[in-house]
Amino acid sequence: MGRAWKYGDNVDTDVIIPARYLVTGDPNQLGPHCLENLDPAFPTGHKPGDIIVGGRNFGCGSSREHAPLAIKGAGVPCVIAVSFARIFFRNAINIGLPVYESPEAAAGISMGDEIEVEAGKGMVLNRTRGEQYAIRPLPPFMQELLDAGGLMARLTQELAREHVGNMGNGGTT
Amino acid sequence: MGMTLAEKLLAAKLGRPVEAGELVEVPVDLVMGNDITAPVAIHAFEAAGATRVFDPDRVALVASHFVPARDASSANQTSIMRRFALAHNLRHYYPEGTGGIEHTLLPERGIVVSGDIVVGADSHTCTYGALGAFATGVGSTDLAYAMATGRTWFKVPETMSFMYHGQRQPWVTGKDFILHTIHLIGDDGALYRSMEFSGDAVGQLPMEDRLTMSNMTIEAGGKVGLVLPDAITEAYERDRALRTPHFLTPDPDAAYVARIDVDVSRLEPQVAFPSLPSKTRPLSDVGDVPLDQVFIGSCTNGRLTDLRIAARLLQGRRVAPNLRLIVIPATQDVYLQALQEGLIEVFVQAGAMVSAATCGPCLGGHTGVLGAGERCLSTSNRNYVGRMGDPGAEVYLASPAVAAASAVTGRITHPAEILGEEVA
């Protein structure tokens, strides 16, 4: 359970993590600057476990994977929004940050509400208001990627298979 | 049912028909990363245990964003990229001084060609759609996977058709077409979709203007922004293409989720107001907007034709008092050509600062970052809060012609005004 930090439409990756910080890929260094250009209260006021709630087109703009990394580094376990920009959505799944589409949740949740995500049940619970909202299931392929630990876990498996295959061919590549 | 251009491009690579909504894994012709995104990808690549790139001739790494190094941290990032590029013997590694902004460089040098499937770890990878290539931005992890395997996965996008008709007015460019289009459909109007640009007015646009249009596809949320290849494409690629281009066109009975017609004959130069590219107005509705800075450059409008238009307007004129004009040719080749044509001299005589090729101020990196309360007109692609520096700064987007005219007067200005022409 965490508090909701509620924002509007088109939260872009430049406000999630400004370019001046893109000199590291370390979530722990990016996290403290997450959302500082959008809401100066967030970096100092949020606690690990708090959840970001956005409107339409969350994560639009630059392809910087530093954006979901910064959110992860800030200790935010997931993002809920009406919709996500394509590259941000893909990046988030690839690095293992769950992102949930729920127009109902985005409409019902206010800044500071206590909320809880029950991903297995496809539900967001709003403890402050006693409401619950459905989240759209991820496409099966993306759910599998997330369950497998992200795209790099898949690459490691593929490389291992390839290695075994090459051994069978006498070790040549 | 016929296929759209996006479907055709994926189908050609897979050797079978595809249809919107289907998930496909496709071989890629080229993968690309830059000094911000590649280091994260290289870390992931190595952590996953990968030891070789799928093809050293098809991985392009370009130092573009924080070059020359802005500080010690960014120098460390470019070092990571250099080490990797040299270790893997990459054919298309462009360190500082050899290339420039990747999205200008790759088409200019024929490294990307019509018919290609390209993923690049930069959102403006969609620029190459102007050649009729399925090119889209991804993050660093997707780049790492594609570098290792030569493959990526896509959901085949639905396609929106945009038909541009009519004779454009003087001073109206591809930048104005795309700003107006983003205004029509909104910042997520093409989310997950392919934007297919056609019609006689696009057919008459030079390749540079088409590249500008495809470049800003992402500002409407689009996955790819495709222009149908034609004689202009062929002429552009003739002496550049390093591989054989493949010209594909949509089927006449292709299925589109939307068809939007734009009459450009009455379109004015467009200006996007802070802080979204969709907040675009025709120039006659802009009013009095005094400026502190004008930036001409970026992957959107830092090409030779852009600099020629700007120089034509700045020739024999001076930048307004108390205004900074920053001009950044997008690549070394653009810079050299501009030098040989005398454009750089025009800029310097006018009081502009000219810098080496870099993305620089577009993303608030360096060489022209804005302070609190400052107002900038930029030829780049994004005017988000804090994009070019302080979150209290304002960014307006327009074409190089409007930018140059505005630099002379110190407020957002129609190019015809400073030439004493009648404003159409």
Q: How many angstroms separate the Cα of B303 from the Cα of each of A132, A151, B118, B296, B381?
A: 52, 36, 21, 10, 14
Stretches in chain A below the pLDDT threshold 70: 166-173
Q: Which residues of B91-121 are buried (b: 16+ CB within 10 A; e: fewer)?
A: ebbbbbeebbbbbbbbbbbbbbbbbbbbbbb
Q: Which of residues 140-159 of B touch A (CB under 8 A)?
A: 140-142, 144-145, 148-149, 153, 155
Question: What gap in Å lies between CA B113 and CA B375, rounded to an integer?
Answer: 38
Bridge-based pairing state of the strands B23-27 and B151-155 = antiparallel
pLDDT, residue A167, reads 63
pLDDT, residue A173, reads 39
Could you state, in order of their start, the residue ranges of all structural domains in chain A? 2-136, 139-173
Distance from CA of A83 to the nearest CA of B (A): 9
Query: Measured between CB atoms, which of B39, B188, B386 is closest to A14?
Result: B386
DSSP assignment of A61-129 equals S---THHHHHHHHTT---EEES-B-HHHHHHHHHTT--EEE-HHHHHH--TT-EEEEEGGGTEEEETTT
- Chain A residues touching residue B153 (CB < 8 angstroms): 141
Query: Measured between CB atoms, which of A10, A86, A90 is closest to B187?
Result: A10
Q: What are phi and psi of B146, to 5 degrees?
A: -70, -35
Residues B124-148 have a mean pLDDT of 98
Q: What letter represents residue A41's amino acid?
A: A
pLDDT, residue B197, reads 98
Instruction: Give which of A7, A14, A89 to mutate to test B binding, by max B Cβ within 10 Å.
Output: A14
pLDDT, residue B107, reads 98
- Percentage of chain B modeled with pLDDT above 70: 100
- Chain B residues touching residue A63 (CB < 8 angstroms): 37, 121-123, 125, 137-139
Q: Report which of B316, B330, B319, B307 is spatially closest to residue B401, judged by C-alpha positions.
A: B307
Q: Which residue of B has its CA nearest to A88?
A: B139
Query: Measured between CB atoms, which of A90, A158, A159 is closest to B139?
Result: A90
Q: Which residue of B has its CA nearest to A59?
A: B221
pLDDT, residue A172, reads 40
Q: Report which of B326, B325, B349, B362 is spatially closest to residue B104, judged by C-alpha positions.
A: B362
Q: Cα A125 vs. chain centroid, distance in angstroms?
A: 18
Count the residues in chain B. Answer: 424
* pLDDT tens figures, B163-202: 999 999 999 999 999 999 999 999 999 999 999 999 999 9
Distance from CA of B373 to the nearest CA of A (A): 14
Residues B8-25 have a mean pLDDT of 97
CB contact under 8 A, B23 and A141: yes
* pLDDT tens figures, B69-113: 999 999 999 999 999 999 999 999 999 999 999 999 999 999 999
* pLDDT tens figures, B40-77: 999 999 999 999 999 999 999 999 999 999 999 999 99
The answer to which of A121-125, A144-148, B239-243, B336-340 has the lowest mean pLDDT is A144-148
Q: Report which of A59, A133, A126, A136 is spatially closest to residue A101, judged by C-alpha positions.
A: A136
Q: Which residue of A has its CA nearest to B43?
A: A25
CB contact under 8 A, A61 and B137: no
DSSP element (H, E) containing B207: helix B207-215
Q: At what angle do helices B400-409 and B304-314 cross, to 10 degrees?
A: 30
Q: Report which of B365, B303, B297 is spatially closest to residue B327, judged by C-alpha positions.
A: B297
Question: What gap in Å lies between CA B139 and CA A66, rounded to an integer?
Answer: 9
Question: What gap in Å lies between CA B111 and CA B84, rounded to an integer?
Answer: 20
CB contact under 8 A, A86 and B192: yes
Name the one residue in this structure whose structure tokens are 């005094």. Answer: B290
Domain A2-136 maps to which CATH number in 3.40.640.10, 3.20.19.10, 1.10.357.10, 3.30.56.10?
Answer: 3.20.19.10
Interface confidence: ipTM more than 0.90: yes
Q: Which residues of A130-149 are buried (b: 16+ CB within 10 A; e: fewer)?
A: eebbebeebeeebeebbeee
Question: What gap in Å lies between CA B239 and CA B246, rounded to an integer?
Answer: 15
* pLDDT tens figures, B267-319: 999 999 999 999 999 999 999 999 999 999 999 999 999 999 999 999 999 99
Residues B198 and B163 sit within 8 Å (Cβ to Cβ): yes
Cβ pairs A/B, distance under 8 A: 143
Query: Measured between CB atoms, which of A37, A57, A65 is closest to B221?
Result: A57
Residues A58 and A79 sit within 8 Å (Cβ to Cβ): yes
Question: What gap in Å lies between CA A82 and CA A103, rounded to an integer?
Answer: 4
Q: What letter represents residue A156's amino acid?
A: T
Residues B303 and B211 sit within 8 Å (Cβ to Cβ): yes
pLDDT, residue B423, reads 75
CB contact under 8 A, A25 and B39: yes
